[in-house]
Amino acid sequence: SPPAAADRPPAASRLWHPFSSLGGTRASELTLVEGKGARVRDKDGNWYLDATAALWYANVGHGQAPIADAIAEQARRLAAYSTFGDMSNPAAAALAEQLADLAPSADPMVFFTSGGSDAVDTAVKMVRRFWTLRGEIDRSVIISRGLSYHGMHGHGTSLAGIAANNAGYGMAPDPEFVRVPHDDAGALRRVIDELGPSRVAAFFVEPIIGAGGVYPPPPGYLTEVAQICRSAGVLLVADEVVTGFGRTGDWFASASYGIEPDLLLFAKGVTSGYVPLGGVIADRGVWEVFADATAGAFRHGYTYSGHAVACAAALANLRLLVEQDLLARAAVLAEELAVRLPRLAELPGVREVRCAGLLGAIALDTVRDPALPERVVRQARAAGVLTRVINGDSVQLSPAFVLTDEQLGQLVDRLAEAITAAD
């Protein structure tokens, strides 16, 4: 029999929040109902500065009418139809064409997914199938960076370097997934040498470590690992789910740091989150092997691969990024952040600050006070700033590119006040 009404959770608690303890979120649940630019409003009418652009994705900001209009128009005409086999739609085809033009790779093809985790798991299967088709069936090991985050699907969970996200699922450490310290190109070379290059399929790299704490790559790191991969015949896979579509002032961080990955993974900023969408941009050297007459079908894909509404949202989003010159704006904001954020390093309780592009993290002294980061986030919310804790000790900054100069000042000032009040 159904539980008595008194035993049921109140309606507002039916939502099983991701990345939360089920018992812990009821008292503090925050319901957001509206967004404009870099601000969002809750159901009680309070406005907040969105320090993180939601989960690193609202690059063009909230409430952009041209994207909403494009979504509505496409939904009215044909919301979606499968792109399996030989099926297509104009929005998916046009978006693939535009992404191919923007990507830092030669003559690529674009495989669409529903989000970033899908893109990661698609790429794992792509690189393994690539080597199978090439007849090098022992090339199955995939190397990734410590502290990296590659989504929460099966392969991505095994790949990623944030230990806490991998624990508690009964998954034995998989010897086919090997991690190297995030900042040590020499370690990648040693691991490839130890395993033997003929065992290694790919190196997955977040150009800037995101959810692991916003760690910029050491100078020269990315070009060095690209060179190591090239000389060992290992495929280079850039996970640009966070860094793509303007975060570094370029369309992709790969371009900012001078690398040309064989596969480039995107999601989030491709639509600024207005509709879920992700994908893999594959260099010609990769897709040609799949296009060979003897290769057979790549038996992989998602119901919503090439979803017309999602692709229409992306096309409108890319148009806004260009028309409002938002990549240049992100670059200006990044410079300003790099000036203002280091001042917070002098506050009691702050261990260090880190910046890369329009991404920042304030690392707090959790040795002295493990609960400090959560208290800072709560204080900031009370002061009208929404942020969150990443990797246990750091407070995230990744605002929308439409943030005004005044809002950037407010953001940093209010975070400083929150840190002082929480310490």
Residues that bind ligand PLP (CB under 6 A): 55, 115-117, 120, 149-151, 206, 210-211, 239, 241-242, 267, 278
Closest approach, Cβ 120 to ligand PLP, in A, equals 5
State how far the alpha carbon of 378 is from the alpha carbons of 155, 264, 373, 423, in Å: 33, 36, 9, 12
Nearer to ligand PLP, 120 or 180 (CB): 120
Closest approach, Cβ 301 to ligand PLP, in A, equals 16
Residue nearest to ligand PLP (CB): 116
Nearer to ligand PLP, 301 or 349 (CB): 301
Nearer to ligand PLP, 267 or 280 (CB): 267
Nearer to ligand PLP, 89 or 117 (CB): 117
Give 35-38's long-range contacts (Cβ < 8 A, gap of 24+). 35/61, 35/62, 35/63, 36/61, 36/62, 36/63, 37/61, 37/62, 37/63, 37/400, 37/402, 37/403, 37/404, 38/62, 38/399, 38/400, 38/402, 38/403, 38/404, 38/407
Nearer to ligand PLP, 278 or 373 (CB): 278
Question: Three-state SS for 145?
Answer: strand
Neighbours of 186 (CB within 10 A): 12
Nearer to ligand PLP, 241 or 318 (CB): 241
Closest approach, Cβ 257 to ligand PLP, in A, equals 15
Closest approach, Cβ 377 to ligand PLP, in A, equals 18
State how far the alpha carbon of 164 is from the alpha carbons of 23, 375, 404, in Å: 19, 21, 36
Closest approach, Cβ 355 to ligand PLP, in A, equals 17
Closest approach, Cβ 41 to ligand PLP, in A, equals 24
Nearer to ligand PLP, 61 or 116 (CB): 116
Closest approach, Cβ 94 to ligand PLP, in A, equals 22
Q: Which residues are within 8 A (CB) of 196 and not within 5 positions of it... i.e. 6 or more apart?
A: none
Nearer to ligand PLP, 239 or 262 (CB): 239
Closest approach, Cβ 93 to ligand PLP, in A, equals 23
Distance CA 312, CA 271 (A): 9
Question: Three-state SS for 242?
Answer: coil
Helix (H), strand (E) at residue 123: helix 116-133
Closest CA to 48 of 382, 311, 422: 382
